[in-house]
Amino acid sequence: MEATEDIPYQRSFYVEGGNFSYAGIVSTSIKSILKQMDFPNDIVRKTALVSYESEINIVSYARKGVIKLTVLSDIIQIEAVDEGPGIPNIELAMQEGYSTADNKIREMGFGAGMGLCNIKSYSDHFDLISEVGKGTSLKMVIKIH
């Protein structure tokens, strides 16, 4: 348990695929946790934003997933790991406007092919690993200046 000395805060949240009535609840919690830690508003917003887009992705496409918030002394990290169909062509998925969303997702105001672009442009560091038939894993780092 020595490692916890380097990790002031870590918490994981379960996300259920396909259940839109709770979509966003994890990101709202993450936002209030960071607010309670007194982070500046822009850092809180950025983190909540990348977490929310990832959460919407899990709900929209995966069977289930976990969002893990880690707060270190110089960075905040959000990891979103899901069990789902995976992304066959990452380059294509990263293209703004490209989407495989169905109508239900689109009518909710998502699925316009902007989510991953938003995640990328709001993270200071962003990694995406995906395996078709298994799932997708996103790692986003926000620097604390």
Partner 1 sequence: MNTEAIIKALNLKVRSAEDNLKKNISGGYTGDLLSDVMANSHEGDIWITRQVHQNIVAVASLKDLAGIILVNSCEPAKDTLEKAAQENIPIMISDLSAFELSAKVYNLLAEKD
Partner 2 sequence: MKLRDVKEILDAEVIVGEEMLDMEVATAFGADLMSDVLAFAKPGSLLLTGLTNDQVVRTADIIEIAAIIIVRGKKPNVEAVKLAKELQIPILATKHILFDAAGLLYTKGMVGSLEKR
Site residues (vs partner 1, CB under 8 A): 96-97, 106-107, 109, 112-113
Report which of 114, 94, 55, 49 is spatially closest to residue 76, judged by C-alpha positions: 49
By the rule CB under 8 A, 33 interacts with partner 2? no
By the rule CB under 8 A, 53 interacts with partner 2? yes
Amino acid code (one letter) for 106: R
- Out of 16, 17, 24, 98, which residue is the one contacting partner 2 (CB under 8 A)? 24
**Partner from partner 1, partner 2, none contacting 115, C-beta within 5 to 8 A by type:** partner 2
**Partner from partner 1, partner 2, none contacting 70, C-beta within 5 to 8 A by type:** none
By the rule CB under 8 A, 142 interacts with partner 2? no
Q: Where are the alpha helices (DSSP H) in 1-145?
A: 25-36, 41-61, 90-93, 103-107, 115-122
CA 74 from centroid of its chain's CA atoms: 19
